[in-house]
Structure 1
Amino acid sequence: MTDLFIRKLKPQGIRTSYSDAQQIGLRLRVGANGHLTFAYHGRALNGTKKTVTIGDYPTWSLKAAREEAERIRRELKEGKDPNEEKRRLREEAASEKVTLRDVLDDYEAKMAGQQRIWTRSPKGRCEARLRIDAVFDKLLDRPVSDITVDDFAKGMRTYEPRQNRGKATAHGQTSRARSYLIKPLDWAARRNKFRKAGAGREPKVNTPDIRDTHDFAEDDPTITGKRTRVLSGAELAKVLPYLRYPAPKELKLVDVTTQDLRPVAMRFILLTAARRQEVIDMRWCDVDFEAGKWFKPKVKSKGQERSQVLPLSDEALRILTCLPGYQDRHSNAYVFANEAGGPAGNFQRANDAIKRESGTSDWHRHDLRRTASQIMLELNTPPMIVDTILAHTNALTKTGASNSIDHYAEVTRKIMLHVEDPQKIALDRLAAALDAFERMSEEEIKELERREEIELRRKR
């Protein structure tokens, strides 16, 4: 092979190659369009065939290609893999350009539909990105491999929310953003649970471990971790009249109040002890009116994904039959839909309006679920039944029973069709208790408030 020989080569319409007689293993590949590329063909130490691309001609001269081919030959005999080294260098070069925003975009695309916090709402936003982008906005467009743990710590320390809802600090927000960011950074660096081949990002990007930053919420006495707020009886008596359909006009939620289903959806949360997102995602095809049951395709759980079949109280079924979509009941339509037919959203606005008109404060939607649970327990409902309704875990595991008992329980339910479901009994009693609170007169509410205040002072 000579330079003159190479320059005289013409395209043949098919790919061809020529071996160099001077440097064993060096080949010149001629593409169908005449593109010329040097490559080395040889065997590794274990005898396997290896092809290593050297580069294009004339960028690589014949002399330089021969020297590179000899170097590759020696590396292969020493047991090294030149292709792996080239791949590593390419990944390092690529990682220098990957920004934090790129990593988050890639992880969001990967997890969308698998994890709710990484799945976008109809408004085009996902929970995790809202928190992370707000707290670490100044770092988003920096190469992620250049960001240090000190940079992340500074972002959390200096973060100031645009809307301060009466809180002295933003440590709760920064703590949540920090928690959400752990997995995308681990995934990009193939760290911890993503260390197995194929589990992490391709190509790998070196990222800092945000676990090495301090969580400022740990030192904030106003952040106590697990929330335990439940509404008192007097608060329920004040709130319940606003949780109905059509939405009370005094709430001033939308121009056409008959289309606002958020208040009655909050009543449904109380009646079923369901999570807000489960109610939002509820579709007409999930409700068996004949059996009086609600099928939840997915309930929040640790480990393996689970579904739930929840019997509905007579009051919960009555509410569903009064909703505007009940008569048509399009199979895939949302039960608690917005005006456009999508899932109801912005419950915070409805929550604030109800607190304003009812004269109550310091509670949100999830507290309704906790309140329903507390009422059932105070009505002497067995804790295992309450756990089953809440779908926290498989309640039978708390009794020490084996997993096989699930099958026995399922067979028993089919045989004893005449026996009323204990969950249905508990939810009917819950509905009756809520009805009693709603029917209280102003004088009864005042008396209840007085007794609750005395009990509160006694506990203190």
Structure 2
Amino acid sequence: MGTHLTERVVKAAEIGTRKYVIFDEVCAGFGICVFESGRKTFILIYRAAGRQRRMTIGTWPSWSVIAAREEAKRLKRNIDRGEDPMDTRTNARHAPTVDELIERYIDEHLPKLSASSGKDQASMVRTLVLPEWRSRKVTDITPTDVDRLLTKVAAGRPRVWKKTVKPVPAPRAIKAKRPKPKSPPKTFKPTPVRANRVGEVLRKMFSLAVTWKMRADNPATSFRKRPETARERFLSFEEIQRLADALCADPDQRAAGIIRLCMLTGARCGEARTATFDQFNLDLAIWTKQAAYTKQRRVHRVPISHEAVALIRLRGDAVPKGCAYLFPGDVVGQPVVNLKRFWDRMRLQADIPDVRIHDLRHTFASLLVSGGASLEMIGRLLGHTQIGTTQRYAHLIDSPLRAGVNAVGEMLKPRLKVVATDNGSAVNRANVA
């Protein structure tokens, strides 16, 4: 028979030579365990799946008698529903952490993506997500946590300003102490687009966490996307000519050939760098890009111009026999890796400081539009899998249409003639019938 547990009863419980339990008469199985050391702990004894189990609720006086009894009643209600509180607690203790989820995401999912995408996503989760949630349980992450993290990413972080001024050294005749160079100033730049990309990675990662039975829902399903302004930079005919002249004059014709291939085909820089001779059918003027080298991970077959065919034939004469790549790199068996220094030099010589290599792809599309190509044709040539990607060029189609409308307006606009007014002055009036 039990005792009605109260604060006074628990406080008066004597310490013996061995531990013992005083059970409560109000809640069956609930009691206070008194240890030889004097520590007093509330416990609950119950049966689950045919076996008796003993669960610790908390230590007195951190837990009051009333609070411990209410917790015991709650646990018993869960037991009546078929749950085992001990198993629940054990599973929670050994639940996977965000660190473990990220490592599994990197090991199992990222190899399915292209090398550049996988590298970028691994960098995002390791530098932006892991420091914030490293030891937290996967099940503990809430939509509020996701929003708080993305807000922090969107705010940006201080970055070192790269343009530094070197200190002027003192003359040799004067033994003056050189001043210590000042550390470069830091600039603060918001990164809302990066926050959107991190949100997309989190949405996929937690979707896989649901598939892997790490949690039941996805906290990043409806993350708040920041507004993005798509960059639109198209080279004018004068800029194209200046760039072409700079490419011809540069001694590095290997790198120049990559840029020319991008301009002639609208290909991405990575597709041009890694292009191999077996991808081209020069008789039919066809470039078949293999899935391993395209962003969409699909085979992309496109026609190429006669100028592009001539460029490929020239590269065949320039590279050693047996070389697979159009633009072999300095490492044997590998293509060219980096064009940053070369492109910086081209931008300086052609006076196009704000142009990226990827803007050559946009320029290719704009030239197609000016030639009367439809959005469907542009999407097929550029390898877009979604029409929304090609819609960014829709406004360019208005240009030839507007030119036609203006031509009609020019023909139909009222003609002006000089007429005399009552006071003898002359004015222009529309000759409208």
Range class of TM-score, shorter chain: 0.5 to 0.7
Determine the C-alpha separation between the residues in 2 that align with 1:172 and 1:103.
25
Contact 1:275 1:366 in 2 (8 A): yes
1:229 aligns with 2:233: yes
SS of equivalent to 2:359: helix
TM-score (structure 2 length as normaliser): 0.55
1:70 partnered with 2:70: no
Q: In the TM superposition, what is the alpha-carbon distance from 1:270 to its structure 2 partner? A: 0.9
Query: Please, which of 301, 313, 329 is the counterpart of residue 321 of structure 1?
Result: 313
Q: C-alpha displacement at 1:81, in angstroms? A: 8.1
Contact kept? 1:292, 1:317, Cα under 8 Å:
yes
Instruction: Report how many residues are paired.
Output: 288
Supply the distance in 1 between the matched residues of 2:151 and 2:192 (Cα, whole angstroms).
Answer: 16
Q: How does 1:335-354 map to 2 (within 5 A)?
A: 335-340=326-331, 341-354=333-346
TM-score for both structures, normalised by structure 1: 0.52
SS in 2 for 1:365: coil
Number of the residue aligned with 1:209: 220
Question: CA offset at residue 269 of structure 1?
Answer: 0.9
Higher relative contact order (CA 8 A, sep 6+): 1
CA distance in 2 between partners of 1:164 and 1:263 (Å) = 30
Q: Structure 1 residue 236: deviation in Å?
A: 1.0
- C-alpha distance after superposition, 1:241-291 (max 9, x if no partner): 2335xx824xxxxxxx46xx4332121111011222322342222122333
- Inter-partner Cα distance in structure 2 for 1:286 and 1:140: 45
Secondary structure of residue in 2 paired with 1:95: coil
In proportion to residue count, which structure has more strand?
2
Q: State which of 271, 281, 294 in structure 1 corresponds to 2:287.
A: 294
Separation (CA, whole Å) in 2 of partners of 1:300 and 1:129: 17
Deviation at 1:369, TM superposition (A): 0.9
Quote the Cα distance in structure 2 between the aligned partners of 1:386 and 1:149: 37
Match of 2:250 in 1: 248
Unaligned runs of 5+ in 1: 1-66, 121-125, 191-199, 219-223, 250-256, 399-460
Pair 1:149-2:146 in alignment: yes
Instruction: Structure 2: give runs of 5+ residues left out of the alignment.
Output: 1-46, 54-79, 164-186, 391-433
Out of 315, 321, 325, the position equivalent to 1:334 is: 325
Q: 1:380 aligns with which of 368, 372, 383?
A: 372
Matched, 1:159 2:156: yes
* Alignment partner of 2:300 out of 304, 308, 322: 308
Instruction: Note the C-alpha offset of 1:231.
Output: 0.8
Q: Judging changes above 3 Å, is the alpha-carbon distance between structure 1 residues 310 and 185 closer, same or farther for their aligned structure 2 residues? A: closer
Indicate the structure (1 or 2) with the bigger Cα radius of gyration: 2
C-alpha distance in structure 2 between counterparts of 1:141 and 1:241, whole Å: 52
Partner of 2:398: none
Are the structure 2 counterparts of residues 205 and 388 from structure 1 closer, same or farther at C-alpha, using a change threshold of 3 Å? closer
1:112·1:118 contact (CA, 8 Å) conserved in 2? no
Percent identical residues: 18
**Which residue does 2:41 correspond to in 1?**
none
Range 109-118 or range 272-281, more displaced: 109-118
Contact kept? 1:188, 1:205, Cα under 8 Å: no
The correspondence of residues 47-196 of structure 1 with structure 2, limited to 5 A, is: 70-71=50-51, 80=82, 86=87, 91-95=91-95, 98-100=97-99, 102-116=100-114, 120=118, 126-136=119-129, 138-139=131-132, 141-145=134-138, 148-149=145-146, 151-153=148-150, 155-156=152-153, 159-160=156-157, 162=159, 169-172=189-192, 174-190=194-210
Q: Is the 8 A contact 1:275 1:369 kept in 2?
A: yes
Report the alpha carbon displacement of residue 117 of structure 1 after superposing the two structures with TM.
6.6
1:327-375: CA deviation from partner (whole Å, max 9, x where unpaired): 5244xx4333321143433344433222122211222122101101111
SS across alignment from 2:327 = coil
- Whole-Å separation in 2 of the counterparts to 1:161 and 1:265: 35
130-139 or 285-294, which deviates more: 130-139
- SS of the equivalent of 1:362 reads coil
Change (3 A) 1:89 1:285: farther
